[in-house]
Structure 1
């Protein structure tokens, strides 16, 4: 019986060591998961900041004439359907606007390589340059 005692103690010690290793692995995995969540959160924040900076850069490209043209066009309505809408897109570089519905239809029909021509002045623009007018006006009003 005395020969069994060291054997049982050895097995018990090995079992405790394996259990500790498992606990350490679980803790390491939890730490790694927390780091991954933090990294993903930081990545999303950077992407959002990049999107905001790109939007500001695009809006800043708009000259005073284009801004005035856009503000005047808002009261006139969409040049395609001639309706007045609450949701209008502005085509940044030229300042012309159209309603979301007409913009989507126009893009589906005429988009080439992520570009369209303004339906009013035919200036070639990127789809990403069409921004809702309320965002442009809020930005310009807050930066005066």
Structure 2
């Protein structure tokens, strides 16, 4: 069998490096979030609510880039865990407002060290983590502008 020399192997591709980093993040977060009883998507929802409690589902979806079809089952599981409530807006019955319970608010204290643990695991100091995050965000915007989100 003849091997092509003009094709880069997976480990030399930017997309593979980003994919492999994502997998490593998933494994690290899984270990950090297990004691809290959260999955990574649930953690993201809780981050939104710890910052801005009592927001519509649509606002959470907008901030996280998730549609309501993805968010609804996730929110139902968090509600079943006693971390939040889902109620219809009095002003607009079509809107569902998500609010933390006391248990959900208390979980923030247990999650407080997770960003520091991630930063330490990265082997970078805080300015290095911020610079890397900014570079990844710039890459995301460039790829989306090039048609990567169609």
Q: Give the number of the structure whose alpha-carbon radius of gyration is greater.
A: 1
TM-score by length of 2: 0.27
TM-score by length of 1: 0.28
